Amino acid sequence: MEVLIYLVPMALLLGLSGLAAFMWSLKSGQYDDVQGAAVRVLSDDDVRK
């Protein structure tokens, strides 16, 4: 069972990185326009000239 000593913290670390990613996406405004994001993916000229 010694394997738990590093497996459990690793699992926690993975979870924390997921949480951090969510916090980052929230902060960078990715949830401000949820409906817009859903339809923008369909437009093919999103690269500004």
Partner 1 sequence: MTEALDLSIFVKRQDDGTSHLDLAIEGIDCAACIDEIEGGLCRLPGIVDARLNYTNHRLAVEWRDGTLSPAQVVDEVQRLGYRAHPFRSRLVEEEETRRAQWLLKCLAVAGFASMNIMLLAVSVWSGNVTDITPETRDFFHWLAALIALPAVAYAGQPFFQSAMNALRNRRTNMDVPIVIGVLLALTVSVAETINSAEHTYFDSVVMLLFFLLCGRYLDQAMRRKTRAVASNLASFRAEVAHRVEDNGEVVLVPTAALKAGDRVLVRPGERIAVDGLVISGSSELDESLVTGETAHRAVRADSHVYAGSMNFNGTLTLLVTAAGKGTLLDEVERLLENAAAAKSRYVRLADRVAKVYAPVVHTAAAVTALTWIANGSSVHDALITAIAVLIITCPCALALAVPVVQVVASGALFRAGVFLNTGDVFERLAKVDTIVFDKTGTLTLPTMSVINARDIEPALLEAASRLALSSHHPLAAAVAQIGQDRRPYDDVIEEPGRGVRAIVDGREMRLGSPTFCDAVFLAQKATSDAPNASVIAFSWADKQAALLVRQALRPDAVAVVADLRERGFDCRILSGDRPEAVAPIARALDIASWRGGCKPADKIEALDALKAEGRRVLMVGDGLNDAPALAAAHVSLSPISAADLTQAHADAVFLGDRLKPVQDTIEISRRAHRLMRQNLSIALVYNLIAVPLAFLGYVTPLVAALAMSGSSTIVTLNALRARGRTPAMPQAKPIPSRVVPAAQGA
- Note whether 3 binds partner 1 by CB under 8 A: no
Tell me how far apart the alpha carbons of residues 5 and 12 are, in angstroms, rounded to a whole number: 12
Tell me how far apart the alpha carbons of residues 33 and 9 are, in angstroms, rounded to a whole number: 35
Of positions 4, 6, 28, 47, contacts partner 1 by CB under 8 A: 4
As measured in angstroms, the least distance from the Cβ of 27 to partner 1 is 8
Tokens of 20: 């951090």
As measured in angstroms, the least distance from the Cβ of 12 to partner 1 is 6
- Note whether 33 binds partner 1 by CB under 8 A: yes
